[in-house]
Structure 1
Amino acid sequence: MRIGAQFVALACAWGSSFLFIKVALDGLTPAQVVWGRLVLGALALCAVMAVTRSRIPRDPGLWLRLSVVSVLLCVVPFLLFSWAEQHLDSGMASILNATTPLLTLAVSTAALADERLDRRRTTGLLAGFAGVLVLIGPAGLTGGSGHLLAQLACLGATACYGVALVYLRRFITPRGLPAVSVAFVQVSIGAVIMLAATPWLAGPAPRVDAPIALSMLALGGLSTGLAYLWNNNIVQAWGAVNASAVTYLTPVVGVTAGVLLLGERLSWNQPLGAALIIAGIMAAHGTPRPVAAPEAEREKERVPG
């Protein structure tokens, strides 16, 4: 698959993941959704590893660091988003997910010596977080405590992404490991964690019909498994800044899918809040530009779905 096609597929996979979660919650608990998502994602990446004959890293220290990444990049945020979508529309969750680059910038500024806030980044952060306030705004404050807590859970998930991506850049990226091997290990560790928790996740008994089964296959195989591979291929081919442009498309896909396929209502503050968040990302990180030389820029934030 060409890189341009992978970019479109990635935007669709991550943007529609919130639709798949919403459908799966009709018969599964949030924890059961995450269990299936990680197990199916690990199986998909295992197949890719076999086809490409990639090697599994053997360094125990690396496995320990990737375990931290797995918890922060997969297990905890997936659980938070799945729980939140019991109270939120899938479109709203996809917009809140787009705050990942802003929260990653905030974390990197505090944790990395070579990251400093300047006027452009400060303006971007303020615009992005103003967008979050617009999203929470009257609907969030009047929708009951469950609605507000669900929105805060989504922001907690993106904060986990931010910490994990900075941790990846600091401890994993410098090793120059194959992207598929790193993705396979971190998703597999998450799957093992959920498998170990199976006795506590068994009840209530899951109800799986055709739409739920298809949603889980797509959520695990596409949005969790292949999406990681596509993302890393795009970063290698186009550069991290260009790859980060997928952030602009995922909430569009998520909101459109929710409105067209689930009949979700689009309130005035959702497009306004999304526009402010995307404007903040563009101001803080810059707009994508052609890659004229091998990747020499800092690792930018990538937004899992």
Structure 2
Amino acid sequence: MAPQKTIPPAAWAGLFTMGGLWGCSFLSVAILIRELPVFWIVAGRVSIAALVLWSYVLIKGFPLPAFSRYLWRFILVGCLTSAVPFLLISWAQHHIPSGLAGILNASTAIFGVLFAALIFADEKLGLRKGTGVLLGVMGIVIIIGLEALRSFDLTSLGQLAMIGATMCYGLSNCVGRILLSDLRPEVAAAGMLAGASLFALPAAFLVDGPPPLALLPETWGALLYLAVMSTSLTYIIYYKVIQLAGAGNTSLTTLIVAPVSIALGALVLGESLSLQAYLGFGLIALGLLVIDGRVLSRLRGQNPA
């Protein structure tokens, strides 16, 4: 297997920008759930983001696909990568702190590696990746706690909802690779958000009725930030960083998201997290570094494979 790409300065800038933007998204959701039902949070986020990203695609003049052929693919992948995980995250944050949601979000890359190994013949788990996945799962178990699972209260359900969201993210990467790999990434992302909107908007009307529009300015600001900055802009940056540094390096941004979400939760919302949450995040972060391979390889004086 080819060695990992080195990360140029422009890619590092993109990684930290994405980490910051995504890390702030958990604070935005915490603000939104004070006034908006979760289905309208999701519907607003994906529909506004779809409009912004399609505008970018049209301005750049990227070739467009035959929509009759790709419509069901956009809806399926859009639900997996956006609508369902966004819904789970918004519901989860009614019951757990935003910083804890950011920590659990770091397991996205763990599940991505696991699902890829199960689905693709060229993505074997191997000893190193298997060890990283095991460390990540141990971190999740420590964060949630066996006692919480036995009690099965709303807090534990909120944590499980976050894990469900990260599993959706991990699986959606594989499904998108199968169904949308022949499209330009920006077009695929715009199509996925449009597909997510086709699911989320009717679902929001059905479950929560017409959208509440008499919202506080901070709520509108949080929604626009979530849609434009944390969704549309991060998609654009994400694919630029992949071009510069490769998909494996890009997954390291999850290590930046959690500290940002923890800091904002503490400074803005007055949250405090348990010691086991930090210990669990440490294991998840260690698992991601083991999967990445560079730290171990440098210790051995070898190139990561």
TM-score higher than 0.5 here?
yes
SS at match of 1:245: helix
- Give 1:32 shift: 1.1
111-120 vs 88-97, greater mean Cα deviation: 111-120
Which residue does 1:224 correspond to in 2? 231
Which residue does 2:101 correspond to in 1? 93
**CA separation in 1, counterparts of 2:205 and 2:163?**
29
Which of 267, 271, 275 is the matching residue for 1:268? 275
**CA separation in 2, counterparts of 1:52 and 1:128?**
39
- Give 1:126 shift: 1.3
Which residue does 1:152 correspond to in 2? 160
Q: Structure 2 matches for 1:280-299, cutoff 5 A?
A: 280-287=287-294
- Give 1:59 shift: 5.2
Q: Structure 2 matches for 1:104-143, cutoff 5 A?
A: 104-137=112-145, 140-141=148-149
The letter of the residue matching 1:122 is G
129-138 vs 211-220, greater mean Cα deviation: 129-138
Which residue does 1:195 correspond to in 2? 201
**TM-score normalized by the length of structure 2:** 0.87
Which residue does 2:189 correspond to in 1? 183
Which residue does 1:302 correspond to in 2? none
189-198 vs 153-162, greater mean Cα deviation: 189-198
Residue deviations 1:224-277 (CA, integer Å, cap 9, x gap): 111111101100112222212212111111111111111111221122111100
**CA separation in 2, counterparts of 1:88 and 1:118?**
34
Which residue does 2:250 correspond to in 1? 243
The letter of the residue matching 2:31 is V
Which residue does 2:241 correspond to in 1? 234
Q: Does structure 2 conserve the Cα–Cα contact (< 8 Å) formed by 1:29 and 1:206?
A: no
**CA separation in 2, counterparts of 1:227 and 1:88?**
25
> What's the % identity of the aligned pairs?
31
The letter of the residue matching 1:196 is P
**TM-score normalized by the length of structure 1:** 0.87
- Give 1:162 shift: 1.4
RMSD: 2.4
Residue deviations 1:3-27 (CA, integer Å, cap 9, x gap): 4443322111111111111110010
Q: Structure 2 matches for 1:9-28, cutoff 5 A?
A: 9-28=17-36
**CA separation in 2, counterparts of 1:13 and 1:123?**
30
Unpaired runs of 5+ residues, structure 1, are: 289-297, 299-305
Which residue does 2:6 correspond to in 1? none
Q: Structure 2 matches for 1:38-49, cutoff 5 A?
A: 38-49=46-57
Q: Does structure 1 conserve the Cα–Cα contact (< 8 Å) formed by 2:92 and 2:158?
A: yes
The letter of the residue matching 2:112 is T
Change (3 A) 1:139 1:171: same
Which residue does 1:294 correspond to in 2? none
Which of 252, 265, 285 is the matching residue for 2:259? 252
Change (3 A) 1:142 1:91: farther
- Give 1:198 shift: 4.2
Q: Does structure 1 conserve the Cα–Cα contact (< 8 Å) formed by 2:99 and 2:261?
A: yes
Is 2:173 the counterpart of 1:169? Answer: no
Q: Does structure 1 conserve the Cα–Cα contact (< 8 Å) formed by 2:115 and 2:170?
A: yes
SS at match of 2:123: coil
Q: Does structure 2 conserve the Cα–Cα contact (< 8 Å) formed by 1:84 and 1:151?
A: yes
Is 2:69 the counterpart of 1:65? Answer: no
**CA separation in 2, counterparts of 1:171 and 1:144?**
37
